[in-house]
Amino acid sequence: MTSVSGDAWVYGPNGGRFWGRFGAAGLLVHDPARGVLLQHRAVWSHFGGTWGLPGGARHEGESAVDAAFREAREEAGVPSAVMRVLFTSVVDLGFWSYTTVVAESTAVFDPVISDAESIALRWVKPAEIEEYPLHPGFATSWPGLQQRLASFAPD
């Protein structure tokens, strides 16, 4: 069964635009030893030049987890087989939603720039993330995500 691509803008009641006809999802990959995998977004992309998570538009009928894993594989070579989902966090605007899937890497892997949407990929310690020029949506959600992620750290 072929799914319908969600690659298109959705416009909100106030005129704001959001990527993904069926919503969007991103993958926050956490490696306990190396930190969080960040993507430096291509300049031509929405909020280009900022740092955020690999992610993008969901396809019709695609779960947020499947979309986040697909996008992270396409944009950063993230192998879903070594990901363990810890939790999800949803921003639901009523007409559009974005799901952050937070997963822990259970094996070491090297991310690979595998499409034109990334300028760079980098492992960043959680305490250093706010030092980067972040995608506005990620900047808003990071403090809550960081707090929840910290609850999974070993004592």
Domains of the chain: 9-144 (3.90.79.10)
pLDDT of residue 3: 77
pLDDT tops 60 at residue 23: yes
- Going by pLDDT thresholds of 50, 70 and 90, the confidence category of residue 45 is confident
Extract the tokens encoding 96.
Answer: 């559009």
Mean pLDDT for 16-41 is 95
Within the chain, residue ranges assigned H as helices are: 64-76, 136-150
Q: Single out the residue of 18, 75, 99 nearest to residue 8, CA to CA.
A: 18
- Per the listing, tokens 């993330």 go with 129
Question: Among residues of the chain, what percentage have pLDDT more than 90?
Answer: 84
